[in-house]
Amino acid sequence: MGGSEARRPKAGRPPDRQAGRAVRQAALQLMREKGYAGVSIAAIAARAGVARQTLYNRWPTKADLVLDAVFEETGRNAPALPGGAPPEGQAGLEAFLLQVLGHLQQDGDPLRALIAAAQHDPVFRDALRARFVLPRERIVTDLLIRAQARGEIAAHRDPGLLSQLVHGIFWYRLLNGQELDAALAREIAAEIFGR
Amino acid sequence: MGGSEARRPKAGRPPDRQAGRAVRQAALQLMREKGYAGVSIAAIAARAGVARQTLYNRWPTKADLVLDAVFEETGRNAPALPGGAPPEGQAGLEAFLLQVLGHLQQDGDPLRALIAAAQHDPVFRDALRARFVLPRERIVTDLLIRAQARGEIAAHRDPGLLSQLVHGIFWYRLLNGQELDAALAREIAAEIFGR
DNA sequence: TTGATTATTGGACTGTGGTCCACTAATTGT
DNA sequence: ACAATTAGTGGACCACAGTCCAATAATCAA
């Protein structure tokens, strides 16, 4: 299976182009209106003006559909700060955490549902990890590596571990229904760089 | 509503004593055999030899029932170290984390399912938090407070925040399907006390 | 135009969590 | 004995995720 699958001579009815966006937008809207548990596949299909089976043709489960909707339709797969340049130092970490915070304020509920869904499906869990978790973890790790190179962080500390500590507390508080506010972001950044 | 509900003169048919244990044991067995998603209320009722409605009479949801089964029937509500005295210092933290590790090695799967279920039900989430999460969080917090009093941890650092960082990374790695091994426990303890 | 191919559609179907209800069984107080 | 009270039982019922299937629609190649 090298590169021989170059271009199958496309045949058959093509997928409805409109449908894709319509479904994702309907899913995202309903999600924000009623939360993950309050949305049914049937409702999404109805609002998108599409047969229910079409959703199952394209997405294996409700969780996959919502994952797609949240991350394709809101363009949040690129968690980098809009500025272009990656965040730097303690202030950069704090800024990044604040941005994640904003994301969670809007889509925390869907995200919690996705994390929950991932626990029942290893394949989906890996997809979520690849598309959402790892990119964010990487940003913080890289930030800490650069900070360490500048001597802002002791050489013996492990940036990968620190990054997971940071993301971990966000998950922990999110999944436990605790508040995630700006003060927390500041305290975390201070603790990591602090003293 | 002070203390006037002293002792209602018990009337009516008493709850079946056998049923309680039978149901919890059936739930736990099936849980370990087929995992959370693979177990149905009907199956638990059948194995316990009890009407399905009886389960709903006693537990509001499947998640509550399983939570009860896991934590009542296995006696894991007491997360303290068997020694009696609470763990102390960096070594104590590492020992505590190793003990949690052992727990996760046996019941990590049900626990992941419970955390997932909690995301769909705020009431259940609070119950899980009260019976499972907070006691463990507290142990580490208290350990760190005592260590701080002995000067092992800088005075300006927040033991509550540190405790959540520690538990957070455990959740993060558990829910992401990453390994939780003794080396991690050692690195975390070193990072918290370290430098 | 015809055939092959693929997508969409709508409807039937299954399994599950959860609710509702009427009936029966066991207990206490009179 | 009898009423009141509470628990267990069995069955009907609903909403939803997910599957299956036959019919139809749109496209490409001949």
Are A97 and A185 contained in the same domain? yes
HSE toward the beta carbon, residue B35, CA cutoff 13 A: 10
Q: CB under 8 Å, gap of 24 or more: what pairs does B182-189 form?
A: B182/B98, B182/B101, B184/B97, B185/B94, B185/B97, B185/B98, B185/B101, B186/B94, B187/A158, B187/A161, B188/A161, B188/A165, B188/B93, B188/B94, B188/B97, B189/B90, B189/B91, B189/B93, B189/B94, B189/B97
Are B93 and B187 contained in the same domain? yes
- φ, ψ (nearest 5 deg) of residue A12: 85, 165
Does residue A9 reach within 7 angstroms of strand C, measured from its CB? no
On whether residue B4 sits in a domain, the answer given is no
Crossing angle, helix A159-175 and helix A134-149, to 10 degrees? 140
Distances (CA, A) of B82 to B23, B76, B86, B182, B193: 28, 12, 9, 19, 24
Are A62 and A97 contained in the same domain? no
Nucleotides of C under 7 A from a protein CB: 3-11, 15-21, 25-29
Q: Which residue has the higher pLDDT, A90 or B127?
A: A90
Do residues B164 and A187 touch, judged by C-beta distance below 8 A?
no
Q: What percent of chain B has pLDDT over 90?
A: 57
On whether residue B79 sits in a domain, the answer given is no
CB within 8 Å: B165 and A164: no
Distance from CA of B14 to the nearest CA of A (A): 36
List the domain range (segments joined by +) for residue A150: 89-193
- Mean pLDDT for A48-56 is 98
Q: Sort out which chain B residues have CB atoms less than 8 A from A191's CB and list them.
A: 157-158, 161-162, 165
Interface list for A 44-73 with B (CB within 8 A): none
Joined together, the tokens standing for residue B70 give 């896991």
A-to-B residue pairs, Cβ atoms closer than 8 angstroms: 109
On whether residue B151 sits in a domain, the answer given is yes
Do residues B60 and B125 touch, judged by C-beta distance below 8 A?
no
A45-49, A115-119, A137-141, B8-12: range with lowest mean pLDDT: B8-12
On whether residue A146 sits in a domain, the answer given is yes
pLDDT in tens, B165-183: 999 999 999 999 999 999 9
CB within 8 Å: B171 and A175: yes
Does residue B47 reach within 7 angstroms of strand C, measured from its CB? no
Nearest to A45 by CA among A60, A62, A33, A32: A62
Length, in residues, of chain B: 195
Distance from CA of A88 to the nearest CA of B (A): 22
Can you give the pLDDT at residue A117? 81
Are B97 and B181 contained in the same domain? yes
Number of domains composing chain A: 2
Positions 4-33 of B with beta carbon below 7 A from strand C are: 9-14
Does residue A120 reach within 7 angstroms of strand C, measured from its CB? no
Are B52 and B98 contained in the same domain? no
Q: Which residue has the higher pLDDT, A84 or B156?
A: B156
Nearest Cα residue in chain B from A190: B157
E strand segments, A80-194? none
Nearest to A144 by CA among A155, A135, A134, A133: A155
Are B101 and B165 contained in the same domain? yes
Distance from CA of B158 to the nearest CA of A (A): 9
CA-CA distance, A111 to A97, in Å (whole number)? 16
Distances (CA, A) of B159 to A141, A161, B143: 24, 19, 9
Joined together, the tokens standing for residue B74 give 């296995």
Are A63 and A128 contained in the same domain? no
Please give the DSSP secondary-structure letter assigned to residue A85: S
The chain-wide mean pLDDT, for chain B, equals 87
The chain-wide mean pLDDT, for chain A, equals 88
- Domain at B153, CATH number: 1.10.357.10
Does residue A57 reach within 7 angstroms of strand D, measured from its CB? no
pLDDT in tens, A94-140: 999 999 998 888 778 778 888 988 887 777 788 789 888 999 999 99
Distances (CA, A) of A189 to A91, A185, B148, B161, B191: 8, 6, 20, 11, 15
CB atoms under 10 Å from CB of B90, counted, come to 18
Do residues A38 and B121 touch, judged by C-beta distance below 8 A?
no
Q: Is the pLDDT of residue B75 over 80?
A: no
pLDDT in tens, B95-133: 999 999 988 877 777 788 889 878 877 767 877 888 789
- Mean pLDDT for A52-80 is 83
Can you give the pLDDT at residue A2? 41
- Mean pLDDT for A41-69 is 95
pLDDT in tens, B82-92: 567 788 899 99
On whether residue A188 sits in a domain, the answer given is yes
Distance in angstroms: CA A48, C1' D23: 22
CB atoms under 10 Å from CB of B149, counted, come to 10
- Domain at B30, CATH number: 1.10.10.60
Query: Tokens 């496309």 appear where?
Result: A10
Banded pLDDT at A22 (limits 50, 70, 90): very high
Can you give the pLDDT at residue B143? 97
Q: Which of A31, A47, A73 is the last residue of a domain?
A: A73
On whether residue B133 sits in a domain, the answer given is yes
Q: Which residue is nearest to nucleotide D10 (CA to C1')?
A: B51
On whether residue A12 sits in a domain, the answer given is no
Top residue of B34, B107, B169, B179 to mutate, by most chain A CBs within 10 Å, is B169
Are A32 and A105 contained in the same domain? no
Q: Is the pLDDT of residue A13 over 60?
A: yes
Are A162 and A117 contained in the same domain? yes
Distance from CA of A195 to the nearest CA of B (A): 8
Do residues A48 and A21 touch, judged by C-beta distance below 8 A?
no
CB within 8 Å: B176 and A129: yes
Are B51 and B102 contained in the same domain? no
A5: helix, coil or strand? coil
Q: Which residue has the higher pLDDT, A154 or B35?
A: A154
- Mean pLDDT for A31-43 is 90
Are B140 and B184 contained in the same domain? yes
On whether residue A3 sits in a domain, the answer given is no
Q: Give the nucleotide with minimal C1' distance to the Cα of A10.
A: D28
Are A66 and A93 contained in the same domain? no
Banded pLDDT at A63 (limits 50, 70, 90): confident
- Mean pLDDT for A36-60 is 96
Dihedral in degrees, nearest 10, Cα atoms B154, B194, B178, A177: 0
CA-CA distance, A132 to A145, in Å (whole number)? 21
Q: Sort out which chain B residues have CB atoms less than 8 A from A158's CB and list them.
A: 187, 191
Does residue A2 reach within 7 angstroms of strand D, measured from its CB? no
CB within 8 Å: A169 and B168: yes
Interface list for A 16-45 with B (CB within 8 A): 36-37
